[in-house]
Amino acid sequence: MAAEPFYFTGYSYEGKGNKAHPITLRGFCGNPNLEVGGGPVIPPPPDPFPEPPPDNIVIKPAPDTGGWGYIAPEPGWYYVPGAGDPGPK
């Protein structure tokens, strides 16, 4: 609910037959018919989601002659044996 300032002016009486004192009341009051900014706030449509990256990206391929390569984000570093290197045991 939006609020707007208000001012009331008038007189305060202290009992019957006493002199009146001028007063001013100042403050804020709520108005359920008001909306912030003069109208409803309509959010902009969300940005479309970007395409997800591929599962694994080869950052550094292993050399054809054998050696280390790197795949991101998983599995990380890997080793490819060369033609004359012994394989896994």
pLDDT in tens, 65-74: 888 888 887 7
- The rounded percent of the chain whose pLDDT value lies above 90 is 0
The percent of the chain in helix, strand and coil, each rounded to the nearest 5, is: 5, 40, 55
Q: What is the pTM of this model?
A: 0.34
Distance (Å, whole) CA 67 – CA 35: 67
88 band by pLDDT with thresholds 50, 70 and 90: low
pLDDT at 10: 79
- Reply yes or no: is the peptide bond before residue 73 cis, omega within 30 of 0: yes
Mean pLDDT of 49-53: 72
Does pLDDT of 1 surpass 60?
no
Distance (Å, whole) CA 84 – CA 68: 15
